[in-house]
Amino acid sequence: MNLQEYINIVHDGKADWFVSECNSYYHQNRINKIIDIKEYLSGSHAILNRPAEMWNGKTFEPRRIVLQYAKTVLNFSTSYLLKNPVTITGEESDVKIMKQIYKQGKFNRTDLDIMDKMVKYGAVYEYLFIDKDGKIKSKIINPEDSYPIYNEQGEMIAFIEQYTTDYNVSYYNIFTEDTVQKWTDAGGDLNLLGEFNNVSGLPVVYKNLNELDNTDGRSDLEDFVNIIDNMEDLLSKYTDSIYKFLNPIPVVIGQKLNIKNNQGEIPTNLVGIGLNLDDGSDMKFAHGQLDFESFESVWKVLKQALLDISNTPAVSMNNTDISNLSEVSIKLLFSLADIKAGLNERYIREGFEQRFERIEKLLRLQGIELDLDNLDVVFQYARPLNESDIIDNIRTLKEIGVMSLQTAIENCPMVYDVGNELERLGNEGVGKENERVKDS
């Protein structure tokens, strides 16, 4: 099914089909979820809706403690994979071209933004173009402004970017494989602002796994937001109990005092005031007891569940003490984070493959040939390393002649750009010197 067939079947061939497409239940439900996530990350949590209570005959405003654990967990997931810029490997000529494009277009910075939005909202889209200076750049299309259109086989056949300005005017950018149309409803009627050639094709899709919809992603936040809600509820109610149930009440044991004209009555403020009791009487303060051990037990269970489900190492959130760890111990501590990063790497790599195809198409228009079969991307996880052990192992393998210079550099924890480092070593003559020593 192509786009025109889709318009005829779904929208009865209407000229303003894109308006009804954006207003469809499927897209509105998806956009509302994204907006809810944005509001949550901005601090609008369920605990803030906790109503006021009546206590001791007065209106009591309960504690509403907000915990922004979600930001910490999501930022860790993003930084763990892309804190270190990706390394492009392959044939030297192709790598040089791609590195120049990455540098001019600031793609390493864009990669972080893409990863950030993908883990927060499940999907994000990128459009590549050639700017007025002839440089290849990319534009990230916000998830709440994105309306991808798929056919019955799950293939994207069009894409709509729709946004509304502060003065209540909507704009529609309709992407197809060959054209880009821009519409607006300024003045109350839809107007075509222009139609342009689309040389790079449809936007690139970055999305993670969604069990219910293979054309859309799913926010990582949905897996553990209810745990954070319960942590906020537990902490807020426990804090309230300190003020509500630890207020001491004076209790007199023995013969009732003779109260006449307020004489002999227990004063409401007992500080600095003496109290005379009859013989054999007693007076003490009674107050509720807080079960701190139960609170601590539930809190630890909830926090550990948050770390487990989000694949966040406990050590990264100061939840455990460490000292003098070996390389194997560090890998064990960060094993869950490595698994999560491996999945995220798979999702973002699929988007990179589409990006490289768009870049190859744009370079061909500029008369530059690029062979994608000769290119690959290497990710350097931000796992803490015992650098001394790694360097000692590299040195040993290099000395016994079972490791090349390039492999040694690729495994060196202090080098992120292998190609650039090899080029520098070649200029300094290190590579030739190593080969000379080996031959002798």
What are the backbone angles phi and psi of residue 399, rounded to the nearest 5°? -70, -35
Give residue 190's domain range. Answer: 1-41+69-220+322-384
Looking at the fold, whether 94 and 112 belong to one and the same domain comes out as: yes
Nearest residue to 157 via CA among 244, 240, 113, 215: 215
- Which pLDDT value is given to residue 196? 92
Nearest residue to 229 via CA among 436, 413, 45: 45
Q: Please state the pTM of the whole predicted model.
A: 0.79
Q: How confident is the model at residue 45 (pLDDT cuts 50, 70, 90)?
A: very high
Boundary-marking domain end, from 362, 384, 406: 384
Tens digits of residue pLDDT in 220-246: 999 999 999 999 999 998 888 777 666
Tens digits of residue pLDDT in 351-390: 999 999 999 999 998 888 888 888 888 888 888 776 777 7
Looking at the fold, whether 380 and 401 belong to one and the same domain comes out as: no
Tens digits of residue pLDDT in 107-120: 999 999 999 999 99
Looking at the fold, whether 392 and 375 belong to one and the same domain comes out as: no
Question: Helix or strand or coil: residue 309?
Answer: helix
- Measured between alpha carbons, how far is 438 from 399 in angstroms, rounded to an integer? 10
Whether 258 contacts 72, CB under 8 Å: no
Q: How confident is the model at residue 248 (pLDDT cuts 50, 70, 90)?
A: low
- The total domain count for the chain is 2
Predicted confidence (pLDDT) at residue 203 exceeds the cutoff of 90? yes
Query: Half-sphere exposure (CA, 13 Å, Cβ side) for 182?
Result: 9
- Which pLDDT value is given to residue 440? 46
Looking at the fold, whether 22 and 84 belong to one and the same domain comes out as: yes
Domain annotation covers residue 31: yes
Residues in contact with 397: Cβ distance below 8 Å, sequence separation at least 6, in sequence order = 403, 408
- Which pLDDT value is given to residue 96? 87
Looking at the fold, whether 366 and 330 belong to one and the same domain comes out as: yes
Query: Half-sphere exposure (CA, 13 Å, Cβ side) for 351?
Result: 25
Domain annotation covers residue 269: no
Tens digits of residue pLDDT in 250-266: 666 665 555 556 555 55
Q: How confident is the model at residue 334 (pLDDT cuts 50, 70, 90)?
A: confident
Domain annotation covers residue 213: yes
- Which pLDDT value is given to residue 61? 84
Residues belonging to the chain: 440
Looking at the fold, whether 373 and 400 belong to one and the same domain comes out as: no
Q: How confident is the model at residue 71 (pLDDT cuts 50, 70, 90)?
A: very high
Looking at the fold, whether 419 and 393 belong to one and the same domain comes out as: yes
Predicted confidence (pLDDT) at residue 267 exceeds the cutoff of 80? no
Predicted confidence (pLDDT) at residue 274 exceeds the cutoff of 80? no
Tens digits of residue pLDDT in 89-141: 888 888 889 989 999 889 999 999 999 999 999 999 999 999 888 899 999 99
Domain annotation covers residue 21: yes
Looking at the fold, whether 399 and 379 belong to one and the same domain comes out as: no
- Which pLDDT value is given to residue 437? 47
Percent of all residues in the chain with a pLDDT value above 90, rounded to a whole number? 42
- Which pLDDT value is given to residue 294? 83
- Which pLDDT value is given to residue 383? 81
Whether 63 contacts 230, CB under 8 Å: no
Domain annotation covers residue 22: yes
Looking at the fold, whether 82 and 190 belong to one and the same domain comes out as: yes
Percent of all residues in the chain with a pLDDT value above 70, rounded to a whole number? 83
Q: What is the mean pLDDT of residues 135-156?
A: 92
Domain annotation covers residue 32: yes
Question: Helix or strand or coil: residue 79?
Answer: helix
Domain annotation covers residue 301: no
Looking at the fold, whether 115 and 198 belong to one and the same domain comes out as: yes
Q: What is the mean pLDDT of residues 179-202?
A: 90
Boundary-marking domain end, from 384, 401, 417: 384
Question: Helix or strand or coil: residue 274?
Answer: coil
Tens digits of residue pLDDT in 48-59: 998 888 766 788
Looking at the fold, whether 89 and 167 belong to one and the same domain comes out as: yes
Looking at the fold, whether 114 and 170 belong to one and the same domain comes out as: yes
Tens digits of residue pLDDT in 279-330: 666 766 666 666 778 888 899 899 989 988 998 888 777 666 666 566 667 7
Domain annotation covers residue 108: yes
Mean pLDDT (the chain) is 84
